[in-house]
Amino acid sequence: MREKVLFTSKLSSEVTFSVTDMMCEGCAEKVQAILSAVEGVQKVKSSVWRKRVRVQFDPDRVESGRLRAELEAGGFAAGEVTK
Ligand SMILES: [Cu+2]
């Protein structure tokens, strides 16, 4: 008798950053582009109004610190929002 658990779906983690320099839709698009270009990122959702961006990523391929570093390299200071 054996039991086996198979995870067929991709791993996914989520992180939210506070990006205070995201002032308009143009900034939001830039933020989206920066994050979407990072390997392992699955989904990016930004809100100019809330000045936040939510990122879904594969924790086996990238970590949230790297995402933050990419944002900062692109000119956007970002702070991780913890719930
Ligand atoms: Cu802007």
- 67 Cα–ligand 1 center, Å: 20
The pLDDT assigned to 5 comes to 60
Residue that wins the pLDDT comparison between 11 and 40: 40
Q: Which domains does the chain have, with CATH numbers?
A: 13-81 (3.30.70.100)
The answer to whether 55 and 67 have CB atoms below 8 angstroms apart is yes
Cα–Cα distance for residue pair 54/47, rounded to 1 Å: 9
pLDDT at 82: 86
Ligand 1 center to 30 CA (angstroms): 8
For residue 71, what pLDDT is reported?
97
Length of the chain measured in residues? 83
Question: Cα of 8 to ligand 1 centre, how many Å?
Answer: 40
Q: What is the pLDDT of residues 17-75, one digit of tens each?
A: 999 999 999 999 999 999 999 999 999 999 999 999 999 999 999 999 999 999 999 99
pTM across the whole model: 0.85
